Chains A and B, each alone.
Chain A
């Protein structure tokens, strides 16, 4: 397999996986959390690069700490969680930047950690992303109805005798795993585009929960293919091209939903989705 074919395969696997997990994230309104996570894993990736160990491993270690912190915060108050996510986001990013500045002779270029370099992904990177995607699908197969219930009505879910934190932890854990496995391809900054944009686009044009879970991975994979092909044809960086393709799908979906809403139809653009898009 040539480097281009491998990059295509990686973009499909990571795009589909991120789209699927992104659907859970966007429906749960955890987009800002996910973004904090992507930036917060950055110092872990830098430290791993400096120590000469696997970059996803370093990012994973950082994300375990972050998921623990954020799921603890999520049990307290929503407003506090937003603020804390913002602090984790900027704090993590600043720590990464500082580490990168003070550690001399890093073997990895800063850009590849920030925006990825899909042309240099390894087979192991692809296997990791595929494994995360399979685990995410399996988790939804087992706990899908509980995830949907707790997302739609958290207090009703608790009143039915369920505990909410395992579901929260499961979704955060899947998000963290997806972010980590997407790092080699699209980097710490752009991973959120693949998680948020395809799912937000699907939510705009697909009316059912199940449909969104099916459509978001397709849009994510398509974004990956378009980005990689465009990067070769136009000789631009692949990571940003993939992120822009995902953004274009969102703009397209927004246009479709606006046109649909035009003739005496009262369906409004969901406010939360518009917010998610801004965050993306």
Chain B
């Protein structure tokens, strides 16, 4: 039996107010599947993720998240009221931003940051209860930071903060997880921990979309790949999409080396 996809984009374009954006998106992600979103800097990877979150306007095509739909027509009619109410409102989508610019002096502990992932479920006026604290504890265990729960967030290392924000995304118990360049700036230990986490999420049926430069990583944890550079160039199984021709076209003339296991894209420091 095939389960219906958690995310489906059909001819979708997401456009910033200034006119830049990403278009021609046709893809789907099934429960328990990880898809790598690959393209050079400025290709529109973050725009795509923001669009799925509802923070960039959908200007063409149709998007389905779980069973709820958005298309360009309804988008235009609600545009005057500001960004649309997003699917992440009901905890459907978890998001790990690329580089969160957070005040390291802000008086907040790691577990309080992770608890923010529960707020959408709680709604206004209600304060976290036992189930929420349990979800936070589990999320911290999953990313391997259970011991540091009480530590002030700003005192953690860069990799630990990144994992803490991942725990916040997990605490909302999402069906779709969006990771924007999650491996940038991570050391080997944090990178391995993140790979394990993604594998664990897939096993639990979470759909994962990972934007990355790291082709090796895409082969390691992802089932399918979508190549973008302003527009979608290819979407399919890793082995079919990550060919020399495709990657060269995507990275626009940048010299690409292909050996048996790794595609190296010089000039794109993806780790």
Contacts and interface: CB of A to CB of B under 8 A. Distances in A.
B86 A143 contact: no
8 contacts: A155-B97, A159-B88, A159-B95, A160-B95, A160-B117, A209-B107, A209-B108, A209-B112
Q: How large is the interface on B (under 10, 10 to 19, 20 to 34, 35 or more residues)?
A: 35 or more
A149 B113 CA distance: 8
Nearest to A203: B107
Interface stretch (B5-13, B66-74, B118-126): B118-126
Contacts of B172: 160
B86 A153 contact: no
Interface string A127-161: 00000000000000011011011011101101111
A156 B165 contact: yes
A163 interface: yes
B103 A149 contact: no
A208 to B, nearest CB: 5
A212 interface: yes
Nearest to A266: B155
A156 B119 contact: no
B107 A156 contact: no
Interface in A213-263: none
Interface of B: 50, 53-55, 82-83, 85-90, 95, 97, 100-103, 105-108, 112-113, 116-117, 119-120, 122, 124-125, 127, 152, 165, 168, 172
A107 interface: no
A143 B88 CA distance: 19
Sort chain A's interface into a size bin: 20 to 34
Contacts of B86: 161
B119 A153 contact: no
Contact of A159 (B55, B82, B102): B55
B105 A272 contact: yes
Which of B54, B105, B122: most chain A Cβ within 10 A? B105
Given A149-B116, A163-B83, A156 B108 contact: no
A105 interface: no
Contact of A153 (B102, B120, B152): B102
Nearest to B86: A161
B87 A153 contact: no
**The 7 nearest A-B residue pairs measured at CB:** A161-B89, A270-B105, A161-B88, A161-B86, A159-B95, A149-B116, A209-B107
A143 B124 contact: yes
A198 to B, nearest CB: 16
A156 B116 contact: yes
Given A160-B95, A160-B119, 11 more contacts: A142-B125, A146-B119, A152-B106, A153-B100, A156-B95, A159-B55, A162-B120, A163-B83, A207-B107, A209-B112, A273-B105
